[in-house]
Structure 1
């Protein structure tokens, strides 16, 4: 239903991002712990069978809606959904922020 809803919106409703690899099915159920060879664990997308080159907004909206639904079904206050969305978009922005001064945050950024 998500992509049907996206297609039903008039052109220009959503910003167009650069065509990059996106998950294509980015929701809470497809995130989870992943360990590297050194045993370090981080939360990553674990389901990549629907990856495509597309607008990154699709993944951000899909994940944001999934997180908001989880917060709502957990009876969390509405302000928590706002904080979740803020953290989601802040994390995405951080991936492109070359002025990042925090060494830990910089180390968590993808090399590409």
Structure 2
């Protein structure tokens, strides 16, 4: 009698455990749950990428300062050296794309589509 009760209880407990596991797995595979998992992984990947970018930037700054020390770029300027030259490009004014100086040569009424059949 006790054997039957024991095995009945053990079987019922195993059934409840298996049913619970199956329902949990089914809940994990619903579209809403999969979307939430994907969003969590994307956020986590974004944080890892940000940390990586910050590490790279810090490494670049450290290496730049090391190279500056080795090459003497941080040293004071010698007063006997001539002053630096200004480049002619510095004073250049950027124009909008439509305000090009040679745009008057183009007739705006004629199409310029080279792929068009003539």
Q: TM-score range by the shorter chain?
A: under 0.3
Using CA pairs under 8 Å that are at least 6 residues apart, name the structure with larger relative contact order, 1 or 2.
1
Larger C-alpha radius of gyration, 1 or 2?
A: 2
Give TM-score scaled by structure 1 length.
Answer: 0.21
Normalization by structure 2: what TM-score? 0.20
Write 1 or 2 for the structure with the bigger share of helix: 2
* More strand by percentage: 1
